[in-house]
Amino acid sequence: MIKSIIINFLGIFNSRILGFIRDLLSAYILGANIYSDIFFVAFKFPNLFRRIFAEGAFTQSFLPSFAKAKYKPSFAFKIFIFIFTIIFFISVIVTFFSYQITDILAYGFSEQAKKLAAPLVAINFWYLDLIFIVTFLASLLQYKKHFATTAFSTALLNISLIFALLLSMHKSKEEIILYMSIGVIIGGIAQVIAHLITSKKYGILKLLYIGAKSNKKADINTFKKHFLPSVFGNSTAHISAFLDTWLATFLSAGSISYLYYANRLFQLPFALFAIAISTVLFPNITKAIELKEYNKAQEQMKKAFWYLFYVLIIAFIFSVINSKEIIKLLFQRGAFTYNDTIKTSYVLIMYMIGLIPFGLNKLFSSYLYATHRHLKSAKISAISLGVNIIFSLILIYPMKVSGLALASSISGIVLFYLTLKEFGFENFYKFFERKYFFIFFIIILFSILISILFKYIFHLL
């Protein structure tokens, strides 16, 4: 498992570094204004669906059902056609009604901004169709314990957007965001090609071909039963971020961009550690539970918990102490001003409060899905989302854009508590041993010292 986690970590790290280069260029060329806000709204819409529909919900419903399926080729092919048809139909609707959808997504935008955003929303949404193909093939590759292609291919989207920015940097801002939208689609196509090549090597394309030709019936009712609860169960953090973006359209220009850049930094440790570890853990505990090896599953959860807990603590302390320095180092150049740095750093701190609960929840929710508690997870997410909405409305007036990020973190704390309660506090208490507490205090001290040293060196420079 450690080897798979390291491979996944390196792939995601590679993608995130390229992502920061992309964001650096975006901040330099576009800055934080209505044009960057328009692109981030257009790009965020398909990403919302991607994260809650194509990735998390699909994988966590598909793998347990696939493991149990009697006729795996027929089952896999039937599931692919079922989900892809739904996504394609939604994409067509978004294309034909892009202005009406944009009017809802960016209600606070001016009429001119909505008209500019509408075609970009339509273009970006087709990325969802491409990324579902990627997610479907990635799930089958995960079943075969191959994670590298999925982890490293995410960099292709960032590479595509970097080229789009470089090619358009001397053009008008309207043309720049159009180039970026086309770059999103090209990046998605590149990811599909990478997965098709690897899938052929691992015999997955052959499996799907057999499933297409087979006359054997495959029961997908269990998958359908779990899929919709999984969609909602995976949606809390992403709908929270999307809600933040929608409410930010009522605030001053640039607010959406502050949320975007801060959330990107929040997503770095979240993706590198929480997603990397839970992605590898999920198929392992699914198989262990399927074989009724419950002690083995609990032991894997225990090890993963402490790995994740330690690295999230380091990331939290470092980011909070050095929030302004991080933003200034990464983004403050060109059209991105010192005032933008200050506002983004406040938002980052508020987001980072939720890093540990959101990160650990990713781990424990995987266990709930592996044990087929999809509906319970959906109910927990509904409560958490309700908390987020209430606190967003309460905090947006006194704290502006920072209040939206804090509301998201509060909902993450509620989400983790309720997930942990469902997992079982008695099972959770078994994870704690004296040696882990000793390491815990050493890590806190180390994190504070490194953070202070970074701040001191930064100010010397």
User: In sequence order, which residues have a C-beta less than 8 Å from that of residue 182 and are 6 or more positions away?
Assistant: 123, 164
Q: Three-class SS of residue 217?
A: coil
Q: Is 33 helix (H, G, I), strand (E, B) or coil?
A: coil
pLDDT band at 104; cut points 50, 70, 90:
confident
Average pLDDT over residues 1-17: 73
pLDDT digits (tens, 9 = 90+) for 420-440: 999 999 889 888 877 777 888
* Whether the predicted pLDDT of 289 surpasses 60: yes
145-183: per-residue pLDDT in tens? 887 888 788 889 999 999 999 999 888 888 999 999 999
> Residue 96: what pLDDT?
92
pLDDT recorded at residue 139: 86
For range 21-49, the mean pLDDT: 80
64 — pLDDT class (breaks 50, 70, 90): confident
Q: Which position has the higher pLDDT, 366 or 189?
A: 189
What integer is the mean pLDDT of 378-389?
88
Percent of the chain, pLDDT > 90?
34
Q: Which helix (H) or strand (E) holds 361?
A: helix 355-370
Q: Record the pTM.
A: 0.74
Does the pLDDT at position 66 exceed 60? yes
Burial of residue 421 (number of CB atoms within 10 Å: 0-12, 13-18, 19+): exposed
pLDDT, position 300 = 87
Q: Compute the distance between CA of residue 32 and CA of residue 35 in angstroms, rounded to an integer.
A: 8
- For the chain, what is the mean pLDDT? 85
